[in-house]
Structure 1
Amino acid sequence: MRYINKTLVCGALSMLALMGTTSCGDDFLKEDAGHKVTDALLEDETGALKMAAGLYGNIRWHFGYEWAYGITLYGCDEFTNGADLTAEPWNTYDNRLNALDCTPALGAANKNCPAVSALWDEMYYGISTANLVIDKAVNVQNEDSRNKALGEAYFLRGYNYYRLFCQYGGVVLQTEPANGVVRKFYDRATEDETLAQIISDLENAYQMLPKDKWRGNGTWTKYTAAHFLAKALLYRQSERCASWAGKYDKNADLTRAIALCDEVIAACPLAPDYWDLYAKWTGVDCKNEGLSEILMAAEHNEDSSTQGRFGNRTYNYFDPQFSNFSGGWVQRGQYIGGMDFQRCRPTEYAYSVFDNVNDARMWKTFKTVYGLNHANKTTEAVVAENGIKAEQMPGIGDEGIIFILNKKDDHRFDGEPYGTFGRGGVPHSFVNPLTGKWVPNAFPTFMGGKYVLFNYGVSGNTATSNVFCGINKTADGSRTGEKGDAHRDVIMARSGETYLVKAECQVRQGDYAGAINTINILRARGQWKNGEDRSYYTDGSMAFLKSDGGDKDNSTAAAQAVKKNKDFTGKVLTNTEAYYASMTHKNTYYLSTGIAETTEASDLQIKSYTQLPAEDEAILKEIGATSDYDRMLNFVFNERTRELLGEWNRWDELARTGLLVKRAKAFNPEAAPNVQDRHMYRPIPQKFIDTLQNEDGTNLSDAAKKAWQNPGY
């Protein structure tokens, strides 16, 4: 069992590279590898707490590379692939998604395709370290320190097993340190046994962890454990466990989960404004990283010793490929908070599920405007090529790319009365009626009652379009290199999701009115507030400059832009000038909705579960949800999209409820042809199975290996 043994034997020692101090501070994940691992150290108060601090390093793995989105967001209803096909098998469910790690030799587009074995290996790596802490820290004399160290170890072990369970089902349960013993014989636990272990570990963490963030931002607390314990109890009463969970009292599990949710909700209130969670990120360790709503985050910072292999790469995955399709009018650089790797392209569903007039979350999530930051052609050339007037020519800082997030029944753009739409490399004549300026790249979402946004990609293939409106939740203006690691924390759990866990429990108890009341609290935050400017936009790019809301100026701010951005006189812009040109702080709200300007509050409140919003009714009709239960369960998942779009858990949640296949078929054209019930589980990594032996040391037979594998692989 080479791969698990590698982690069980060596994991604890390797983790020392991320050992943290035990002092309270805004960021405790700092390198401190000057001590040695001995049993005596782990039984010492200071040593045990340092070892427990090192556990936090394991969760950073989730966001260090392509698996961040491949195993969590692809193949679902919210996102599909763009033109880059690095992780395509995870989205299309074709025959390349099997028990073997997909390499170029096996059909991968490149060597970065997420390996099937990646999560398996890394979660056991963390489990091995947690086992070591649990085994030794029980001997720490100080009760407070002992409970803190043990609580963190139990939490990580429970969390890692939860991630394994969500993806693979029953797995190997290893709860003792390896102590240098190499084993190749293991039994695979049942799903029941695996989830029971998860619940036990999270219960221990819940009982032992303090309520306060004693290490500083990022500390796992009693409420972090409560949130995941509630999710685990809900999981046991979900559709994927229906064949064996009948022996557990459904009402008892759900009632306990609701009580845990209520405890979290009371202690960890929502941020006042949805902006605060993601868009108003002002720099490394900024105050919004300490919001009470945040229950768990993978910490990152500027310290080079805590970057490296698993630095924060998430800013790469959500922007369209603007540097390719924009015709040169919009150049990329670190002054733009995201890179245009165009991995996660929102589906038609992801746009349609929002009330684009009343739901502020849509406009605080989607980046609809990129400012023109490079004068690619002269006015004379643009006028001649696109049939516009000279006075309609845009300047630096005007709209370079716009996405119009309109509705299917919006016919204002039918017949293209404001000129033809298109990307920068193709002649088109669209002039924004609200600005009177030609826009080098202008794209509606719907026209003529049809979804058209995916028609504008460079390839001409709607299945690999590089034109889409991306989301801003990972934008980071603190990067000092265009492709350098991001420095912002990645939120992994927040009490906004806790409301949705509670609401689903209520749905499963038949309390539909209660579920609506719970969700209405989230929707109240998502409404426009009185006096709010609905046309305003910002995102984490703002960290680039102090003068625009960042905590400090980026160290590259005064340098010339890497892409040699030029104005219409031929002057090369500095990064600061390129930033101000790119960050317009405007969205396309009024162009997209067609409503008159207003600063009045909006209303997202739902009066009854029998009268759901029009957006939801259209979706429910599309998937054939007719019973009260099916309607309400799917409504909760629609609300999960509106609240949690892109927040790294969609595949797990859809697989848990048995909604994966139906919703992927309905809303993800690239997944629809291949997705089937077997895909609610991932294949057990073949390279792990091939290392197993029988208890007597003989190799497994082919039949025994097949018995280890999930059905259909």
Structure 2
Amino acid sequence: MKNTNKILSGILAASIMFGTTSCGDDFLKENANHTTTDALLETGAGALAMAAGLYGNLRWHFGYEWAYAITLYGCDEFSMGSDETSLGWMDYNTAEMNPAGSSRRNHPSPADLWNELYFGIATCNLLLQKAPLIASEQDRNSALGEAYFLRGYNYYRLFCQYERCPLQLEPIDVSAGVPRNFKLSSGEDVLNQVIDDLQKAYDLLRTDDWRGAGTWTKYTAAHFLAKALLYRQSERCTWKSNYPAKTDLDRAIRLCDEVIDARGLEKDYNNLYSNWTGVDCNIEKSKEILMSALHNDASTTVGRYGNRTYNYFSSQYNTYSGGYVPRGQYIGDMEFQRCRPTEYTYAVFDNVNDSRMWKTFKTVYGICNNVATPDYVKAENAPTFGDQGVLFLLNKKDDTRFRKDEFGRAAIKHTFVNPETGKWVPNVAPVYAEGQYVMNTYGTSAANRSNMFCGINKTADGSRTGEKGDAHRDVTMARVGETYLVKAECQVRNGDDAGALATINLLRKRAEWKAGEDREYYVDGTIAFKSNSTASGNCAKGNKDANGAKLTNQQAFEYSFIQKNSYVLSTGVERPVESESWNASSLQISSWNNLPAEDQAVLNGMGLSVNTLEGKVNFILNERTRELLGEWNRWDELSRTKTLYKRAKLFNPETLYIQEHHNLRPIPQSFLDGLTNDNGEPLTDQEKKDMQNPGY
């Protein structure tokens, strides 16, 4: 907590000195008056404090709708619910997704990310200019290492999204006005600068978490340097033949090994996200975490951008549940239903043997409000407080146990009675019934905008003191689980297929159920509500008991948070008898020619053979879904491998207007409109068009 507060205080100091960007800020806008800043930077303590302020640039990524729109929309893993706030990023329609941005309220613009990344770069450039004056070598190296890292990371993100961008590597003197004559560097030059900056960060940063958990170390730099080297040998880099593949890939593999050996994996996948018990709890200190956007509950360190990610992954239970499950801070998520998993996402998991599915998806919400049971439900089947109010069954397509018409939401007559509890479930939906995908057919909105679905739990936060307040948990931005997959892909591209499979199997080993592990146990960050200061207050939505008395938040929490998932009912696997315990499962893959059925189905649908590089890379993309679902980098990875168009078209029916050129984002129109030519004159429309990415 102490280190986090120091860093977050540094963030506020940086915001005061450098300013913060907004949607309308000009490219590379800086504070012209650096007098106080310069003096501060010329002391070791001051430079380190300003370096701490660099971490604030990461918080921006998770403070608004762009968190998911830029990183997860328009891909294969998530569609959307009935809310169309970020529609253009999902369906790629030209009215919304264009260089000038959308007129739709709250719709993120292509300029938002561009402006914020350059704000961070400008801060890094100033620190890099002044940090060499620091007398202490350790302090100097630490400040330089953090500045090189963030600059390299920000240029990496610019490259991933736009490919070409200006390379500004020194502070800009704006005393004579803001310069307007910028050139776009080639993608090759930008990526090479990324590699150079990350290499310097790797050389300078410490190996220990000296600033605290989730901050930048040598291993953070190693992870991203390995990703950048892999990128240079990936499909989008048409110039990759300029660099020896074996040299890049061997180097990336060594970096991955260094990270894996030093940091390692958590033993239980639950300890990455689900076992979040409150601010600065143990799982935020996990050695597997390589980088986080830091947050806490101190009002003095909130700043402009809090953590709003808890809003985006849950279905709209407050709307469709018929009053059985009203929303509130006693439930760790908020039902803004921005990210609805696609059929591909549900189907790609082995629902029997892969614990990641059951530690990622939230399948049950309990009844926490009194609602009259419909007359057609038998009295002995009537549910009560704490029974299942919302239930999702994560079954397979060949499951023949269910009929489509026995499921539904509260307002629609349906007959489903849980055979284990004998209780009618007011809101219940399977992934499949009668051999058809039906998860998207039971909500109050159309199937292509269904607001009823089984969402994921990685952002749940029960520490919130208001249903719409900021979350307090850190946001993991990089971890060792991904390092394994970066290494495996490097091995595949290097011709070491056996080594790649061995690496993937090590990661899958963690995902296996352990002997004696309760496969029905469920937890998520909602559990942090146990120490919530608002527990004794009444529910904001007016939840009532059977006598009409108002429920407290604590009562609603106890009723709604059910720590038992739908594993047995979803899979049909028999629960062990009382004298026995669950067996261990296996996810080990014996050979590339014996892939899991889920992966073979994906490759068949794509018309690919696993004996090709493309087939193996797509298998690794499937494994990325299972390991990293919702972890803020899917669009970048599909763009890198040039699989975005194909996978989105096949697996996400809501990417209606996607075309091949959408593999890059548009250069922001606001940037182009502000440029001048060498004569100081505004660019002509043709000159702007020539600078724009193809297709826009």
Give the alignment's TM-score, normalised by structure 1.
Answer: 0.92
1:289 corresponds, among 281, 284, 291, to 284
- Percent sequence identity over matched residues? 59
Aligned length: 668
User: For 1:98 and 1:68, how far apart are their aligned partners in 2?
Assistant: 16
Instruction: Identify which range, 406-415 or 319-328, moves more after superposition.
Output: 406-415
2:437 corresponds, among 427, 451, 464, to 451
User: Does the CA contact (< 8 Å) of 1:27 and 1:299 recur in 2?
Assistant: no
> Cα offset for 1:86?
0.2
Q: Which residue of 2 aligns with 1:408?
A: 397
Alpha carbons of structure 1 residues 54 and 308: separation in structure 2 relative to 1, 3 Å: closer
Q: Which residue of 2 aligns with 1:353?
A: 348
Q: Deviations over 1:439-487 (max 9, x none)?
A: 000101101111011111212x211110110000000000000000000
Runs of 4+ displaced beyond 6 Å: none
User: Does the CA contact (< 8 Å) of 1:655 and 1:680 recur in 2?
Assistant: yes
Q: Which residue of 1 aligns with 2:56?
A: 57
User: Does the CA contact (< 8 Å) of 2:399 and 2:432 recur in 1?
Assistant: yes
Q: Deviations over 1:234-270 (max 9, x none)?
A: 00000000x2121100010000000000000001111
Is 2:622 aligned against 1:638?
yes
User: For 2:529 and 2:115, how far apart are their aligned partners in 1?
Assistant: 36
Q: Deviations over 1:592-646 (max 9, x none)?
A: 0001114111111111111100000111101111243222111100000000000
1:389 corresponds, among 358, 367, 378, to 378
Q: Which residue of 2 aligns with 1:513?
A: 498
2:642 corresponds, among 658, 670, 695, to 658
| Alignment-mate amino acid for residue 645 of structure 2 | V
SS at match of 1:640: helix
| Alignment-mate amino acid for residue 586 of structure 1 | K
Alpha carbons of structure 1 residues 636 and 701: separation in structure 2 relative to 1, 3 Å: same
User: Does the CA contact (< 8 Å) of 2:7 and 2:55 recur in 1?
Assistant: no
Alpha carbons of structure 1 residues 409 and 25: separation in structure 2 relative to 1, 3 Å: same
1:474 corresponds, among 454, 459, 480, to 459
Alpha carbons of structure 1 residues 514 and 424: separation in structure 2 relative to 1, 3 Å: same
1:605 corresponds, among 581, 585, 588, to 588
Q: Which residue of 2 aligns with 1:427?
A: 413
| Alignment-mate amino acid for residue 502 of structure 1 | K
| Alignment-mate amino acid for residue 171 of structure 2 | P
> Cα offset for 1:536?
1.0
User: For 1:503 and 1:694, how far apart are their aligned partners in 2?
Assistant: 46
Q: Deviations over 1:186-211 (max 9, x none)?
A: 11100110001000000000000000
1:570 corresponds, among 534, 541, 548, to 548
SS at match of 1:174: coil
User: For 1:415 and 1:577, how far apart are their aligned partners in 2?
Assistant: 34
Q: Which residue of 1 aligns with 2:44?
A: 45
Q: CA RMSD in A?
A: 1.5
Q: Which residue of 1 aligns with 2:536?
A: 558
User: For 1:414 and 1:175, how far apart are their aligned partners in 2?
Assistant: 62
Is 2:578 aligned against 1:582?
no
SS at match of 1:543: helix
Task: Please list, as runs of the form range in 1=range in 2, the aligned pairs for 1:68-107 lying within 5 A after superposition.
Answer: 68-104=67-103
Q: Which residue of 2 aligns with 1:238?
A: 234
User: For 2:230 and 2:535, how far apart are their aligned partners in 1?
Assistant: 48
User: For 1:219 and 1:278, how far apart are their aligned partners in 2?
Assistant: 17
Q: Which residue of 2 aligns with 1:227?
A: 223
Q: Which residue of 1 aligns with 2:481?
A: 496
Alpha carbons of structure 1 residues 415 and 272: separation in structure 2 relative to 1, 3 Å: closer
| Alignment-mate amino acid for residue 668 of structure 2 | P
User: Does the CA contact (< 8 Å) of 1:30 and 1:303 recur in 2?
Assistant: no
Q: Deviations over 1:113-153 (max 9, x none)?
A: 11110000000000000000001101212111000000000
User: For 1:98 and 1:29, how far apart are their aligned partners in 2?
Assistant: 34
User: For 2:549 and 2:37, how far apart are their aligned partners in 1?
Assistant: 62
SS at match of 1:391: helix
Is 2:135 aligned against 1:136?
no
Instruction: Identify which range, 62-71 or 175-184, moves more after superposition.
Output: 175-184
User: For 1:403 and 1:175, how far apart are their aligned partners in 2?
Assistant: 51
Q: Which residue of 2 aligns with 1:321?
A: 316
User: Does the CA contact (< 8 Å) of 2:514 and 2:583 recur in 1?
Assistant: yes
User: For 2:612 and 2:420, how far apart are their aligned partners in 1?
Assistant: 43
User: Does the CA contact (< 8 Å) of 2:77 and 2:652 recur in 1?
Assistant: yes
User: For 1:391 and 1:464, how far apart are their aligned partners in 2?
Assistant: 35
Q: Which residue of 1 aligns with 2:667?
A: 684
User: Does the CA contact (< 8 Å) of 1:406 and 1:593 recur in 2?
Assistant: yes
Is 2:360 aligned against 1:375?
no
Q: Where do 5+ consecutive residues of structure 2 fail to align?
A: 18-34, 577-581
Is 2:112 aligned against 1:118?
yes
Q: Which residue of 2 aligns with 1:218?
A: 214
Is 2:181 aligned against 1:194?
no
> Cα offset for 1:99?
3.6
Q: Deviations over 1:569-602 (max 9, x none)?
A: 2222111110010101011100000011141111
SS at match of 2:236: helix
SS at match of 1:402: strand
Alpha carbons of structure 1 residues 99 and 414: separation in structure 2 relative to 1, 3 Å: closer
Q: Where do 5+ consecutive residues of structure 1 fail to align?
A: 1-20, 546-552
| Alignment-mate amino acid for residue 563 of structure 1 | K
> Cα offset for 1:507?
1.1
